[in-house]
Structure 1
Amino acid sequence: MELDSYNERKAFDETKAGVKGLVDAHITEVPHIFRLPQGTLSDKKPSVSASAIPVVDLAEVDVSRERVVEKIKDAAETWGFFQVINHGVPLSVIEEIKGGVRRDAMIEYSKHVMTLGGFLFELLSEALGLHSEILKSMDCMKALNVVGHYYPPCPQPDLTFGTSQHSDSSFITILLQDQIGGLQILRKDSWVDVTPLPGALLITNDKFISVEHRVLTNRAGPRISVAGFFSTNMLPNSTVYGPIKELLSEENPPKYKDFTLEEYNKGYFEKGLDGTSHLSKFKI
């Protein structure tokens, strides 16, 4: 059975048609190589209301920056995920990037996401009780990788995922998705539907959570999403990463070993999206 599955995947790969080829062929059934084991999606229906997901209004910074920082701190510590509104990315730019991931639209969108990312890093730094430039000074936003995702309508959404369970390797992910929905995050062992709004996550010494998430398939569609992954320079280098020294004390010792980017990425990409956290491999 395993050999048959391998041969089927190999034959599909050799067609070079990809999922687009399946869409163009107007398939009415999900091919076996994309089907999940029976019962995998038994928890598809969320048990927590989507309205419970924290929403941070960045316009409130002009009234009380401390209040916004506190909201972000609470959301990052308890959810590892929050949505932002009044974030400064023009609606016209958002609609253009959703309408089609084209070169000019991508460049314009990326400029706004870089600005928003810088602002979020400042607020997250302050939420950690540190000066606002600390995360940026650690090269947390040295690189921005913007990726467009296209999820075609699925004839049998109960048989497969759009994207399987995983957590991101970036410092922050800012996600834009259209109104189709499908994104879910894992909250206290229950999956929660996410209303389509930008979101962000951050990892640092277990204080802020990198949330597990997945994308369901849907008969409606296509679904479009654009993810902006903030990270350090992805080229191999000798920089060692670990817990922020200013956050450590006898009462709050480090929970992770130091590691280089090469060490982390090697294991992360070898592991694949298997529903486990690669960061746990470095836990002390």
Structure 2
Amino acid sequence: MEIERVQEIATLSNINGTIPKEFIRLENEQPATTTIHGVVLEVPVIDLSHPDQQSLVASIFEASKDWGIFQVVNHGIPNELISKLQKVGKEFFELPQEEKEVIAKPIGYQGVEGYGTKLQKEVEGKKGWVDHLFHRVWPPSVINHQFWPKNPPSYRDTNEEYTQSLIGVANNLLGLLSKGLELEEHELKQGLGGEDLVYMLKINYYPPCPCPELALGVVPHTDMSSITILVPNEVQGLQVFKDDHWYDVAYIPNALIIHIGDQIEILSNGKYKSVYHRTTVNKEKTRMSWPVFLEPPPEFEVGPIPKLINEDNPPKYKTKKFKDYVYCKLNKLPQ
């Protein structure tokens, strides 16, 4: 069974100026009617090179509690390396379709890794205007190179180099988030699986859309990860739900966008908030993003950290294996 890719649909749609009806969102979801236009949300921007650790911990704590999202600058990943990551990802999506299909998710495959289009069932059969590529990048024991592109030839080296830089940033962020909860630096990471924490890369490819006011790239959601570390390209698209409205998030060159995910909300017993967000698309330009989801191992149990629980603050979330959490969320079952 051949799956129609959004990149191919976009080519035809941009010729005739319309999009298939399954991509037209319900009126209460359409960007045209639900976005606060002309207002770009300045989510907190945090300088990770700030010399005052106490101030840094406080800034990240406030951003994670009030927003669930922030951007980091001076994070230590060279700008040239981020540009290389973007270049090889773009080159993969510009390959002939048959080359991309070589690493497509096999029919009936239950995992998420590989090249693909649709992720999960949606109400009334609606679809997101996006193709994607998923593959794990860390630790080595969980990597399956079957789902890594062979072309461009520098894809693997670039992604391995980026991952090595990212690990340091992730450990730093998790340590700062842990201190914000008045825990030891290592405790939050330990509550997520420690050194077995899985890094899952996704590349989102949102081709130009002739009716961007009617479609969405990715529907409103919170991430199932602990944190998500995201590199966008320069095309506006990320939106955050704040004060009952959808707002565009300001683009900052070479910044990393940090999403607090569901697992950190659970571990913190609700002190940190998982960010509710979605993605819009552009009429003329291709938008791309490179999120890396930091996930507990599938069998690892995640629940509120015992030190954060007391009579005045009882557990707000159940403790469960990460794979069971994912199953319930994807199938819209009670948690």
Place the TM-score, normalised by the shorter chain, in its bin: 0.7 to 0.9
Find out whether 1:18 has 2:5 as its counterpart.
yes
Q: How large is the Cα RMSD of the aligned pairs?
A: 1.8
3-state secondary structure, aligned to 1:158 = coil
Counterparts of 2:39 and 2:183 in 1: how far apart (Å)? 33
CA contact (8 A) 2:35 2:247 kept: no
- Separation in 1 of the partners of 2:183 and 2:37? 36
**CA shift digits 1:15-48 (9 cap, x unpaired):** 4231122134344211111111234221123586
| CA offset digits 1:185-231 (Å, max 9, x no partner) | 11121212112342221422110000110000111321110001001
Specify the code of the residue in structure 1 equivalent to 2:41.
Answer: A
Q: Which residue of 1 aligns with 2:26?
A: 37
* Structure 1 stretches of 4+ moved >4 Å: 46-49
Q: 1:15 to 1:91 in 2, by over 3 A?
A: same
Residues 1:140 and 1:209: Cα distance change in structure 2 (over 3 Å): farther
Aligned to 1:90, which of 55, 78, 86? 78
| Greater Cα offset, 178-187 or 135-144 | 135-144
After TM superposition, list the pairs within 5 Å mapping 1:121-200 onto structure 2. Answer: 121-138=174-191, 139=193, 142-196=197-251, 197-200=255-258
Distance 1:70 1:152 in 2: 39
Q: 1:74 Cα shift?
A: 0.4
- Asked if 2 retains the 8 angstrom alpha-carbon contact of 1:186 and 1:212, the reply is yes
Of residues 318, 321, 324 in structure 2, which corresponds to 1:260?
321
Matched, 1:120 2:173: yes
Give yes or no for the alignment of 1:72 onto 2:60. Answer: yes
Structure 1: state its 5+ residue gaps: 1-13, 272-277
Q: Which residue of 1 aligns with 2:280?
A: 216
Q: Provide the C-alpha distance between the structure 2 equivalents of 1:220 and 1:57, rounded to a whole number of angstroms.
A: 33
What TM-score do you get using the length of structure 2 for normalisation?
0.72
The whole-number CA distance in structure 2 between the counterparts of 1:80 and 1:40 is: 22
SS of the equivalent of 1:73 reads helix
CA contact (8 A) 1:125 1:134 kept: yes
**Equivalent in the alignment of 1:8:** none
Unaligned 5+ segments in structure 2 are: 90-154
Cα distance in 2, alignment partners of residues 66 and 170 from structure 1:
26
Partner of 2:114: none
CA distance in 2, matches of 1:140, 1:45: 40
The equivalences for 1:217-256 within 5 A come to 217-234=281-298, 237=299, 239-256=300-317
Aligned length: 255
For the residue of structure 2 that corresponds to 1:148, the secondary structure is strand
SS in 2 for 1:109: helix
